[in-house]
């Protein structure tokens, strides 16, 4: 996004999307604690608890049905929640991804393992449309999609070079020519909502009205949603901070954060439920608005704007998740915790 009068964007897009039906499917009824393996650093398993695990559009939902002790819930080794024994019945969203591991341990001296669940099935992942961990694979020119939907990307360079480089927290962009092209995103039909979450570090921010593009999704004739950062108005140059801009219909439906520090890793989440949209930075809501439009599938770019040949990312992308469902505030906090470096 550039201020009025700048020719960096050719059209005024409107957003659209499709909503994945948020039917909650039970993927594991009561999970009794029997035969669990002993994890290194934890005590002997006990049969002092039982849990129910259900599928939701945002990941698995864990509900302790019985607790004989206070417990800690961890996702991929990171603490997500602490639950007192008398709070059995409370539900907890776990924004699971391929390869995730859920572990519940007691808060007593033994730290006994009460539940251990590895997530390998696509059916247990929620409504993922695209999921990028920015880990190099066998083909260094391809960005793998771990959602199971085949939305792979190709590493590109407008200057004829090698494109983004593997390294740092994931994939490094030079701010001049690098980007990733993801054509014709596939997703289930009949969707009206979406959530996009990105972990990234911006390392450069120079020039008048400097814009760094994180992600842009385009479909139809000039219609798009995007995440980008803005270094200042025309005639200004910010070198140590920038704002984060989230658009669901540029230029009217845009919300921007206050200045955030350059060379610092952030988790940003933009969500849209078909009627309103919200921007979160590091788990905190910074703004939003109302909007009601339909959207469709299309193409996506990482690190480069579709229309402008000057809006590239100078920095690193560490993780990106795209869901065709909206997240509420508590779900945003969960996914932010899961995606923190």
233 pLDDT above the threshold of 60: no
Residues 100 and 144 in one domain: no
Residues 231 and 321 in one domain: yes
Residues 73 and 189 in one domain: no
CATH code, domain carrying 230 = 2.60.120.200
The pLDDT-based confidence of 143 (bands split at 50, 70, 90) is very high
Which residues neighbour 287 within 8 Å (Cβ) at sequence distance 6 or greater?
Answer: 255, 256, 257, 278, 279
3 pLDDT above the threshold of 60: no
Highest mean pLDDT among 40-44, 105-109, 295-299 belongs to: 105-109
Residues 171 and 52 in one domain: no
Structure confidence by residue, pLDDT tens digits, 19-32 = 222 223 333 333 33
* Residue that wins the pLDDT comparison between 234 and 312: 312
| Range from 74-88, 226-240, 326-340 carrying the lowest mean pLDDT | 226-240
- Taking residues 291-303, report their average pLDDT: 84
Residues 155 and 98 in one domain: no
Residues 46 and 23 sit within 8 Å (Cβ to Cβ):
no
The pLDDT-based confidence of 102 (bands split at 50, 70, 90) is very high
Structure confidence by residue, pLDDT tens digits, 117-128 = 888 766 666 778
Q: Which of 121, 140, 163 lies at the terminal end of a domain, its last residue?
A: 121
Residue 300 lies in a domain: yes
Residues 64 and 102 in one domain: yes
* Residue that wins the pLDDT comparison between 209 and 132: 132
d(CA 225, CA 241): 23
| Range from 4-13, 59-68, 189-198 carrying the lowest mean pLDDT | 4-13
Residue 210 three-state SS: coil
The whole domain housing 275 covers: 128-339
Q: Which of 121, 153, 178 lies at the terminal end of a domain, its last residue?
A: 121
d(CA 166, CA 161): 14
Residues 168 and 294 in one domain: yes
User: In b/e form, how buried is each residue of 88-99, taking b as 16+ CB within 10 angstroms?
Assistant: beeebbbbbbbe
Residues 92 and 143 in one domain: no
Residues 175 and 282 in one domain: yes
6 pLDDT above the threshold of 80: no
Residues 61 and 179 in one domain: no
């Amino acid at each position: 996004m550039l201020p009025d009068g700048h020719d960096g964007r050719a059209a005024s897009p409107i957003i659209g999307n499709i909503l994945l039906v948020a039917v909650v499917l039970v993927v594991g009824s009561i999970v009794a604690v029997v035969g669990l393996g002993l994890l290194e650093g934890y005590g002997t398993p006990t049969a002092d608890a039982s849990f129910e695990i259900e599928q939701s559009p945002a990941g698995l939902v864990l509900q302790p049905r019985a607790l004989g002790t206070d417990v800690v819930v961890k996702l991929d080794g990171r603490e997500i929640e602490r639950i007192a024994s008398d709070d059995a019945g409370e539900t907890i969203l776990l924004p699971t991804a391929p390869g995730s591991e859920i572990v519940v341990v007691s808060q007593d001296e033994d730290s006994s393992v009460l539940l251990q669940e590895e997530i390998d099935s696509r059916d247990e992942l929620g409504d993922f449309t695209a999921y990028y961990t920015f880990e190099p694979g066998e083909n260094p020119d391809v960005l793998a999609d771990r959602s199971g939907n085949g939305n792979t990307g190709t590493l590109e360079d407008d200057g004829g070079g090698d494109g983004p480089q593997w390294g740092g927290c994931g994939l490094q962009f030079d701010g001049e020519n690098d980007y990733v092209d993801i054509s014709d995103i596939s997703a289930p039909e009949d969707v009206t909502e979406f959530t996009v979450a990105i972990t990234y570090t911006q390392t450069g921010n120079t020039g008048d009205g400097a814009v760094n593009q994180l992600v842009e999704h385009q479909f139809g004739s000039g219609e798009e949603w995007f995440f980008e950062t803005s270094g200042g108005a025309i005639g200004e140059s910010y070198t140590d901070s920038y704002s984060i801009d989230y658009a669901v219909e540029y230029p009217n439906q845009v919300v921007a954060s206050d200045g955030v520090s350059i060379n610092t890793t952030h988790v940003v989440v933009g969500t849209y439920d078909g009627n309103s949209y919200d921007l979160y930075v590091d788990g905190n809501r910074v703004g939003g608005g109302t909007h009601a439009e339909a959207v469709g599938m299309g193409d996506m770019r990482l690190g480069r704007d579709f229309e402008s040949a000057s809006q590239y990312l100078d920095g690193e992308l560490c993780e990106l998740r795209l869901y065709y469902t909206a997240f509420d505030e508590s779900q945003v906090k969960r996914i932010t915790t899961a995606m923190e470096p």
